[in-house]
Structure 1
Amino acid sequence: MNAPHPLPAARRQLYDEMAPLHLTPLWEVLHALVPPAPRSPCVPVHWQYDAVRPFLMRSGELISAEEAVRRVLILENPALRGQSAATQSLYAGLQLILPGEVAPAHRHTQSALRFIVEGSGAYTAVDGERTTMRPGDFIITPSWAWHDHGSDADGPVVWLDGLDIPMIRFFDAGFAENGASRSQAVTQPEGTSFARYGHNMAPVRHEAPFGATSPIFSYPYDRSREALDTLERSAPIDAWDGVKLRYVNPQTGGSPMPTMATFMQRIPPGFAGKPWRQTDGAVYSVVEGTGTAVVEGPSGSHSFTLSPRDHFVVPSWHTARFASEGGCVLFSYSDRPVQQALGIHREERLS
């Protein structure tokens, strides 16, 4: 009978003896650290608004917007429970504000987007300017900019909060500060920033008010929808995306925020899209219409039946395809600008 080979035992002894020095052998973990292809721990997930909304309304009965600072239900990926993350780099949550409430002023390093889901008449104030919220509007809170929210509406207003919280946490670069007053002073009329920068023009003498973030902090849905409608009627329909546009920073032509890209797309009636995958995992909000999203990855195939105000996640390097009998509109955001800046973004359009 052959004696046990001494090598495995000697290796185990080596590992045990060097562990107190906080050393670990690369060869034991190399394939996990440098995989042949992305293998995200995130899973596809779908939040049906009709199921989520009652919990939002109940939270409105139990805690005020001012007491909570931000009354939000986090959309947490089931595979990342406890991390307040929809993907490994992105946060998503649904925020509720009720008539007469104020969510007090503060600022933070994290960049934020607001995508209005339900109700009209609430407002966000950024850098002394207010913008009124309407369904489908995309609003930016730039990094380290004072902002507060309030409502003059007759009913509840709900919006999707998208932030780069997990990304900033990864870099250990988060700061925050509360304002001295509940609401910041309004110093310029509503629409001022759009008048300055939203018409393919800019003031002759100006500096970027928010650094690398777009100087437009409110992108109205009616303009976005008009652009999609025009292209759906007059331009070729993309076999993978339908009609998809990206929001831009008018000063640079790049993404509105340095860490998050935002998109709006129209899935035309009768569309059955081809599959695609990309390294930037994305969070989606169904603006209007109905459709289906099929997302496939290591956890299997997931088919989501989409209705207005639903939200869902397509994780990194998962194959997805969209279809709709009657047509629908989707808003989405991802960490694409960071991946592009690092030169690691990859996309495949499959047939």
Structure 2
Amino acid sequence: MDTNLPPASSQEPDANREAALRGLYDDLARHNLFPFWATSKDTDHDEIRQLMATRKAVPHLWSFADDIEPILRRSAELVSTADSDRRSVILVNPGLAPQRASVSTMYTAYRLNDPNEIMPPHKHTPSAIRFGLTGKGNFTGVEGEDIVFGPGDMVLTPIDTWHNHGTVGDEPAINLSVLDLPLVETLNAVSFDHHYVEDDAVVKKQSARFPDDYSHRIYGTGGMRPRFVNHIRGAGHSSPMYVYRWEAMQALLDRHADWDGDPHEAIMVEYVDPTTGGPVFKTITFFAQMLRPGERTLPLRQTASLLVAPFRGSGHSIVDGKRLDWREFDTMAVPGGSWCEHVNGSATEPAILFVASDEPAQKAFSLYRKWGRAADGEVSRLA
């Protein structure tokens, strides 16, 4: 007789318990329930691991020249305004597919409009911007302000604000959009409205009610706020300045080209609401980030997710150890929680990145965190 075996009476309860647990887990799954407890023996039911194993965005780069632009050109040939009110290409993160999301809370879309092609007005609960890439005739009418914009200009189309897009002039134009639609979708708050009416009639283009230089005339001088206009525009939930011209941003970056800057972010300028000094939207914010010739930022990690679109120059970024080589007009996904550093590939010319971030949404819930790694590898909390 093997005296090392435990008595049969002590083995039976163990076996019975394991069988009962398996039955319990099967019943939970069958009834669409999830167990939130940890067991020390059953690795098949490591509840913490399973709870954290949701789909996550991954670092990724979309190439404008190699992939996006050729597809946009083909779409313009095959899809007309008679077929659809919009013709955009959405960037889908491989880690989140098939969800229409470039990172968990935002997506970028590219749009090409043929000459003199204006789409009908609409409005929606997601907040959005348009950023000009090519052509001088990009057009967005926002709440009665007709805005024609070119490369580097950023145009707001805020939550629940009527707007329509297109191109004016005889050349096609391309712009990119950034929307918080994945976030709004998660909150079950997405809605669209295409029934735009003026004088009891449905029209295909908004009538202008403001001068086309309204945003610049009222808000183009920093530190001074006119008291003779109503600053509540559209639904009143965003910056009342609807267009941010690249000329002003470029001048500001140039003035600080010899500034020390931040070791983790180089020279970074945020687009803000001129009436509050806060971000242009309550959910997402935008930056222009300049890397001086040969500049390399120190690694930065933050809970905010980023969409980074190189606007000038070329270089590479290292996101969670993955090298992503970028050129003008590409888009790069930097998921929240990723370590990221940028490198300007030119020793003589600056590189400029256009950056979107869900930082305001995170700050609204006190969730925003930020860490930096020094040259010696030491990590410190920055925010």
Note whether the superposition's TM-score is higher than 0.5: yes
1:174-231, CA deviations, whole angstroms, 9 ceiling, x for partnerless residues? 1111133211111221111232223233331524214220000100011011101101
Aligned counterparts of 1:64 and 1:257: Cα–Cα separation in 2: 32
3-state SS of 1:78 partner? coil
Alignment match, 2:21 = 11
The answer to whether residue 275 in structure 2 is matched with residue 251 in structure 1 is yes
Distance in 2 separating the partners of 1:111 and 1:330: 21
Q: 1:194 aligns with which of 216, 240, 243?
A: 216
Partner of 1:260: 284
Hey, what's the Cα distance between the residues in 2 that align with 1:43 and 1:19?
28
Provide the secondary structure at the position in 2 that maps to 1:287: strand
| Structure 2 residue identity aligned to 1:222 | E
C-alpha distance in 1 between matches for 2:163 and 2:182 = 21
C-alpha displacement of 1:32: 4.2
8 Å contact kept, 2:279–2:360: yes
Please name the residue that 2:226 is paired with: 203
Aligned residue type for 2:238: T
C-alpha change, 1:84 and 1:21, in structure 2 (3 Å) is closer
Residue in structure 2 matched with residue 153 of structure 1 by the alignment: 169
State the secondary structure of the residue aligned to 2:363: helix
Cα 1:252–1:40 shift into 2, 3 Å: farther
Matching residue within 208, 215, 222 for 2:240 = 215
Cα distance in structure 1, aligned partners of 2:31 and 2:92: 36
The alignment status of 1:276 with 2:300, answered yes or no, reads yes
The yes-or-no answer on 1:43 pairing with 2:58 is yes
Three-state SS of the structure 2 residue aligned to 1:161 is strand
Question: Would the aligned equivalents of 1:291 and 1:327 in 2 still touch at CA under 8 Å?
Answer: no
SS at match of 2:203: coil
The 1:16–1:62 alpha-carbon spacing in structure 2 relative to 1, beyond 3 Å, is same
Q: Is the 8 A contact 1:293 1:304 kept in 2?
A: yes
Task: State the 1:22 CA deviation.
Answer: 4.4
Q: Structure 1 residues 11, 73: CA separation in 2 closer, same or farther (over 3 Å shift)?
A: same
**How large is the Cα RMSD of the aligned pairs?**
2.0
Q: Is residue 230 from structure 1 mapped to residue 255 from structure 2 by the alignment?
A: yes
Matches within 5 A, 1:1-351: 5-17=15-27, 22-27=32-37, 30-32=47-49, 41-51=56-66, 52-65=68-81, 67-178=83-194, 179=196, 180-199=202-221, 200-205=223-228, 206-210=230-234, 211-233=236-258, 235-296=259-320, 301-324=321-344, 325=346, 326-351=349-374
Aligned to 2:378: none
Structure 1, unaligned runs of 5 or more: none
CA distance in 1, matches of 2:363, 2:299: 22
8 Å contact 2:138–2:175 — kept in the other structure? no
Distance, in Å, in 2 between the alignment partners of 1:245 and 1:207 is 23
CA distance in structure 1 between the aligned counterparts of 2:33 and 2:101, rounded to whole angstroms: 30
Q: Which has the higher contact order (CA 8 A, sep 6+)?
A: 1
Letter of the 2:210 counterpart: Q
Task: For residue 14 of structure 1, give the secondary structure of its aligned residue in structure 2.
Answer: helix
Unaligned runs of 5+ in 2: 6-10, 38-44, 197-201, 375-383
Moved more, 190-199 or 241-250: 190-199
CA distance in 2, matches of 1:126, 1:338: 24
Change (3 A) 1:13 1:284: same
- Higher Rg of the two aligned structures: 2
- 2:122 corresponds to which letter in structure 1? H
Aligned in 2, Cα 1:114/1:245: closer, same or farther, shift over 3 Å?
Answer: same
Superposed structure 1 runs of 4+ greater than 6 Å apart:
none
Deviation per CA, 1:66-111, whole angstroms, max 9, x where unpaired?
5321111111111112111001111111011010111211111111
The residue identity in structure 1 corresponding to 2:350 is G
Q: 1:270 to 1:18 in 2, by over 3 A?
A: closer
Given residue 303 of structure 1, which amino acid in structure 2 is its aligned partner?
R
Structure 1 residue 242 displacement after superposition: 1.4
Report the CA distance shift for 1:226/1:40 in structure 2 as closer, same or farther (over 3 A): farther
Identity percentage of aligned residues: 31
Measure, in 2, the Cα distance between the counterparts of 1:30 and 1:232.
51
Q: Quote how far apart the aligned CAs of 1:350 are.
A: 0.8
What's the TM-score, normalizing by structure 1?
0.92
The 2-side partners of 1:122 and 1:21 are apart by: 53
Offset at residue 29 of structure 1 (A): 6.4
Q: Structure 2 CA distance, aligned partners of 1:21 and 1:76?
A: 32
| Matched residue count | 344
